[in-house]
Chains A and B, each alone.
Chain A
């Protein structure tokens, strides 16, 4: 009886898994089919003549859709923003967690309020600000403005507050100043939280779609998400190429998730509990 129950249990779990994974597997399978086979009705499950032709087309030199370039741009933008977020969020979170000063509650209240304001409402004025800064059609437009999000400050402040104060007090007794306490005590103790925030920032930026499609114009400055929109338009019925593009955009994110699953899920669950 218990065994039958166990089997039913795992049947449900595995059935659900199929729903989540099948479309992703389908994307990978389609990317190694020929264009003709990909649109065959009824479709074939496994490719009859597996080919990497679609990937060849994607990475062809001098193409209208420089996917390799988009990939590098995505890496630079996502990596750059993650780094920037770590720097500005940790330096801002530290005094908010540990110091008393005039305006502290006002400042904190203000940034928390922005968590409830949908960021897209600022898209028009931010476009004009980026234009004034001369950043339209450059990666700066993707790296810098997003780092103003309050999420990182909020998240790290929460973590810093949970740290025991004894080590800091000891460091102060030994004559360390605030900066030294921050860099030698707080930051080393916060490695897991910093890793989580870095990963979440990287993934958010890696996946960003709405902002890049409006602030980037030339094919060479695109990142992968707006690039996929271009691929969809350029290879309307050549689905293997579009799916190969989607795979190129997915694989780094999925790999990161497999390697650092614990950090990412932890970060998400914490954002809910404390949000």
Chain B
């Protein structure tokens, strides 16, 4: 929705004035360096990947026979070698997405509402809540692996428990979701906060005069006011969750067995450790299709709400 508005706006300003009708090569020369990179590392791989997925592409073997759709068929054939592990990893990604996205949408909103007023130290607190996000998943991973260690970790020592945070279900999921919320909460919070600040004060005043109370104010002013940022936040959060890799890789290492091994982990393992690239490429196209479908559904939901 914001994208469409954005495009409409671009078209308008384009016609308005100032933009030189440039028949020359100039714009293309400016675009050249980026286009080279975009072509080599975005467009070519998108097509090349499709080509790979149609072959029995073993990186270590000289012959890479064409197999048509066999790699895709294997993903749907319960008798194939990849079927069980692939769907196991897809369901792990699904579990993580379903468990983490609601929290990643609501907790940052609560934090943003907390920060959405002027008080001394506001910028300081905003920075503190954002701080973990500037660290990489590698730092976060090894740190929480230590803190959550069932035997030696500070969390169990603090709680006086011996919960298997990193080694057993459902605790491993609790850990992965909890760490992810802790780590990335600041990102959505900052975006929400910017959205909140764009809501005109008069709307709140009007709501107050109507005497609706806090909840009504939230429902009828705050939420609709956040709509411009909400679509981005929802799609981005879902995509990020569906791409989860580092947390599982470092904190649970897939534990207890392969239950917390995500789709990206399995694809990378298949393609870049076992070098079964044809199969891995097919998996990544299937995952991409699934994610595109999810994005489209989210788009639809937002658009139908707007009408």
Contacts and interface: CB of A to CB of B under 8 A. Distances in A.
Contact of B45 (A17, A87, A125, A254): A125
Given A19-B182, A242-B146, A254 B131 contact: yes
A87 B126 contact: no
Contact of A41 (B114, B123, B157, B288): B157
Given A23-B147, A91-B31, A209 B246 contact: yes
B280 interface: yes
A116 B272 contact: no
A246 B141 CA distance: 9
A269 B191 contact: yes
Nearest to B240: A118
A245 B136 contact: no
Most A CB atoms within 10 A — which of B34, B46, B125?
A: B34
A161 B127 CA distance: 29
B176 to A, nearest CB: 15
A173 interface: no
B189 to A, nearest CB: 10
Nearest to A182: B30
Interface residues of A, number: 99
Interface size class of B (residues with CB under 8 A): 35 or more
B120 to A, nearest CB: 9
Which label, helix, strand, loop or mixed, suits the secondary structure of the B interface?
helix
Given A225-B138, A253-B136, A210 B245 contact: yes
A117 interface: yes
B194 A273 contact: yes
Interface stretch (B35-43, B80-88, B164-172, B208-216): B35-43
B126 to A, nearest CB: 7
A261 B268 contact: no
A39 B288 CA distance: 43
B128 A21 contact: yes
Interface stretch (B94-102, B199-207, B217-225, B228-236): B228-236
A143 B31 CA distance: 19
Given A23-B182, A124-B49, 17 more contacts: A13-B125, A88-B34, A98-B20, A111-B38, A125-B44, A128-B277, A145-B40, A148-B40, A150-B42, A165-B17, A182-B30, A207-B136, A209-B137, A210-B245, A229-B142, A253-B134, A265-B126
Interface of A: 9-10, 12-13, 16-17, 19-21, 23-24, 26-27, 30, 39, 41-43, 87-89, 91-92, 94-96, 98-101, 104-105, 107, 111-112, 114, 116-118, 120-129, 144-145, 147-148, 150, 153, 161, 165, 168-169, 178, 182, 203, 206-210, 214, 224-226, 228-229, 231-232, 237, 239, 242-243, 245-246, 249-250, 253-254, 256-258, 261, 264-265, 268-275
8 contacts: A17-B128, A118-B288, A165-B18, A210-B264, A232-B145, A273-B191, A273-B232, A274-B2
Interface of B: 2-3, 6-7, 10, 13-14, 17-23, 26-28, 30-35, 37-38, 40-42, 44-46, 48-49, 52, 59, 111, 114, 119, 121, 123, 125-132, 134-139, 141-147, 151-152, 154, 157, 182, 187, 190-191, 193-195, 198, 228-229, 232-233, 235-236, 239, 242-243, 245-246, 249-250, 264, 267-268, 271-272, 277, 280-281, 284-285, 287-288, 291-292, 295
